[in-house]
Amino acid sequence: MSKLVLKNVSRRYGTFKAVADFSLELAKGEFVSLLGPSGCGKTTTLRMIAGFAPPSTGTIEMDGQQISSPSGVVPPERRRMSMIFQSYAIWPNMTVGENVGFGLQVRKMSRAEIDRRVDAILDVVQMRNLKGRYPAELSGGQQQRVALARAIVVEPEVLLLDEPLSNLDANLREEMRFEIRRLHDEFKITTVYVTHDQSEAMVTSDRIVVMNKGRIEQVDAPHVLYGRPRSRFVAGFIGRTNFLEGTRNGSDVRFDGFTAPAVAVEGANGPGELLYSLRPQAVGLTTRKPGGPGLAVEAEITGRAYLGEYWDYQVRPLGGAKPIRVSTAPTSIFEVGSHAWLEINPAAIVRVE
């Protein structure tokens, strides 16, 4: 049975539709991210799951029981969930130990039991030695760990995270992503994670829900989302991509400067000009004509940028007008103006809407 089920949930503020027709099922122990630009409705969705807002239409169920509907909402304090807030919401008037122990205290556990569990979870997040400190004496990353410990120690049915890393600096953010995933692997708590950062979502999640303007664009595992984006929005939002216009011409699809067999290109069956996505990483760049199974297209280097981890080349097929962006290893160097060969795997060209 699914742990958490959202059925046709929507949320309106006046005439503005913050979330529209949102349906999703989470398996027990699954880690799902809601990913999208700010204002796309992901935080609103999370707050509906938490019980801070009722849905305008639709229902939310946990373990088969309805917890939210337009006519009534189980209040947040009775949902047995926990949440990590964007601001962490660590209470500055309580020590680390008191913060973490709060939820257990509410659950009327004995003092000794609370102590034992608090110490255990503080060990997990490596904060045991700071138990007596006040939050103002902690760094951002340490506060984040306290928030994690406080949320996990109560063994919630569902863990909700609202952009938990957005206030950290870049290095710490990277570290904490793995920390969150590690904790998930250890405790197997069903988790909904809201973020606007695609790499955060990709590192942590089993599945990613890409949202745009209150609607779901696509729900898939990270690698599928990247390799097989289904809409222009997803292709553009997750990573970088080339948008190519292609027209069906008999058994071929004709692109700007090259053609590909239609059978090899996914979704190339409609008439007229259609839009396709081709990831810069899916294209090879060689000095000699490649002998592999892919398409070989002779091209001219029109621009380049060195980004340390890779080269970002702009390469124009000789018969075409617009350059294609290609990422290569930092060791493969081509001069601007020189000729080279593109190696394109037609299966990497994906039709998008």
Partner 1 sequence: MAVTGTVAVEASAAVVSRAGRWDTTWLLWIAVIAVLLVLVVSPFVYLVLTSFQAERTGDFTLSNYATAYGRARYIDALFNSLKLGVGVAALAGLFAIPLAWAVARTDMPGRGFTRMLVLATFITPPYTGAVAWILLAAPNAGWLNRFYMFVTGAEAGPFNIYSFTGLVVVIALYSFPYIFIFTTAALELVSSEMEDAANILGAGTWRTMRRVTLPLALPAIMGGLIICFLEAIALFASPAMIAIPARFNVVTTQLYQFFGNPVRVEVAAAYAMPLLGVTVLLILVQRLITARKGFATLTGKGGERRPIRLGPWRWVVFGYAMLVASLSVFLPYIFLVQSSLARAWGRGFSLDNITLRNFDFVLFEHTTAAQSVINSFIYASASATAAVLITLGIAYIVTRRLVPFAEVLGFLCVAPFVIPGVVLAIGFYAAYAPPPLSLYGTALILILAFTTRFLPIGYVNASAALRSLNPEMEEAVRVLGGSRLMALRRVVAPLLKRSLLGAWLLIFIPATRELSSAIFLYGPNTKVASVMIFDMSEEGNFEYLSALALILQVLILPLLWFGQRALGRDFMLRRTAT
Q: Which parts of this chain interact with partner 1 (CB under 8 A)?
A: 13, 16, 18, 37-39, 43-44, 47, 50-54, 73, 75-83, 85-87, 89, 91-93, 102-103, 106-107, 150-151, 154, 160, 213
| Shortest spacing between CB 301 and partner 1, in angstroms | 34
Q: Are 22 and 45 in contact (CB under 8 A)?
A: yes
Residue 81 vs 283, nearer CB to partner 1? 81
Residue 324: CB minimum distance to partner 1, A? 28
- Distance from C-alpha of 203 to C-alpha of 180, rounded to nearest angstrom: 9
Q: Which is nearer to partner 1, 163 or 179 (CB)?
A: 163
Query: Considering the complex, what minimum distance in angstroms separates the CB of residue 147 from partner 1?
Result: 8
Q: Which is nearer to partner 1, 198 or 328 (CB)?
A: 198
283 residue type, one letter:
V
Residue 264 Cβ vs partner 1, minimum distance, rounded to whole Å: 37
Q: Closest approach of Cβ 150 to partner 1, in Å?
A: 7
Closer of 110 and 251 to partner 1 (Cβ):
110
Residue 40 or 349 with smaller CB distance to partner 1: 40
67 or 253: whose CB is closer to partner 1? 67
Decide whether 39 or 132 has the Cβ nearer to partner 1: 39
